[in-house]
Amino acid sequence: MFPTFDQRTLAALVKGQLDKPKTHDQQREEYARDFLLALDKDICPSSITTDGARSILRRLSNAAEIEIEHPKHDYLAPHGGRRGMGEILVRSFGYTVAARYLDNSEKMVRKRYSHIEADELGDLATEAIAEVDSI
């Protein structure tokens, strides 16, 4: 879902994908980062690893001085980001589209985010009661 920005990984990827290895060194001089070179040459960077994501989230959590009370970790974990993104997708586009983005079945997404449908039904019921009260 998210590309890696690890410089060593990107350098190896770009060097391996270009026609001639010497071309890599020449073209690198034209770009500020190997990521930009990869984008320009239509080379798809690999996804960030779970450990890479954890490392970034640990660093960001510490920098933001976020206190996490969780038995397994003291930083914002990738799973929490996925859950948050899932909630945004369901609320914005519905269960079917969210399932495609999250690479899950729609049934699984409905189960995990059932609280959203319950909230929406509660809102509809509140509106219905308000309409009846105004008559």
Of the chain, the percentage scoring pLDDT greater than 70 comes to 95
32 DSSP 8-state letter:
S
- Confidence at 24, pLDDT banded by 50, 70, 90: low
Rounded CA-CA distance 84/62 in Å is 20
- pLDDT for 14 beyond 90: no
Residue ranges of domains in the chain: 7-40, 50-134
Of the chain, the percentage scoring pLDDT greater than 90 comes to 24
22 DSSP 8-state letter:
H
Rounded CA-CA distance 86/13 in Å is 30
Q: What is the pLDDT of residue 23?
A: 67
Q: What is the pLDDT of residue 1?
A: 62
- Confidence at 21, pLDDT banded by 50, 70, 90: low
Q: Which residue has the higher pLDDT, 98 or 21?
A: 98
Highest average pLDDT, of 18-22, 51-55, 69-73, 94-98, comes from 94-98
> Token pair of 109, please?
């997404």
pTM of the predicted structure, to 2 decimals: 0.55
Q: Which helix (H) or strand (E) holds 28?
A: helix 21-28
Rounded CA-CA distance 43/3 in Å is 11
